[in-house]
Amino acid sequence: MEIMWLKEALFAGMTANAFKLGTALSLGWFWLRVSGCSVLYRGESMEQTDFSDILTVAERDALEISPPGYVHHNSNSTYFYVVRRANNCGDQEYTLAAAVKVSIDSDGNLASPKSNNIFCAKIEQVFGSRIKLVWYYCPIEQGLKPAHFKIYWDGGSGEIDYENPIAVIRYAGQIFYSHLSDMLTAGKYLFCIKTEDAGGVEDGSYSLLGIQLDNKSPDSADILSVEAV
- Contacts of residue 143, defined as CB under 8 A and 6 or more positions apart, other chains included, come to 101, 103, 112, 113, 114, 115, 116
Amino acid 95: pLDDT: 78
Most confident of 118-132, 159-173, 208-222: 159-173
Q: Predicted confidence band at 2 (pLDDT cuts at 50, 70, 90)? A: very low
Give the residue, 132 or 37, on which the prediction is more confident. Answer: 132
3-state secondary structure of 8: helix
Residues 159 and 202: their CA atoms lie apart, in Å, by: 19
User: Of 12-21, 101-110, 180-189, where does mean pLDDT reach its minimum?
Assistant: 12-21
**97 compared with 160, residue with greater pLDDT:** 160
**pLDDT interval class at 115 (50, 70, 90):** confident
3-state secondary structure of 195: strand
How far apart are the C-alpha atoms of 26 and 23, rounded to whole Å?
6
**What mean pLDDT comes out for the span 58-81?**
86
110 and 104 Cβ atoms separated by less than 8 Å = yes
What is the pTM (predicted TM-score) of this model? 0.52
Q: Would you place residue 10 in the very low, low, confident or very high pLDDT band (cuts 50, 70, 90)?
A: low
pLDDT, residue 156, reads: 93
Higher pLDDT residue, 175 or 10? 175
Q: Are strands 146-153 and 77-86 parallel, antiparallel or unpaired?
A: unpaired
Of 193 and 110, the one with more pLDDT = 193
pLDDT at residue 144 greater than cutoff 50: yes
Helix (H) or strand (E) holding 5: helix 4-7
Q: What is the pLDDT of residue 30?
A: 46
Instruction: Evaluate whether the domain defined by 119-213 bears CATH number 2.60.40.10.
Output: yes
Q: Specify whether the CB–CB gap between 70 and 51 falls below 8 A.
A: no
- Sequence ranges of the domains in the chain: 33-104, 119-213
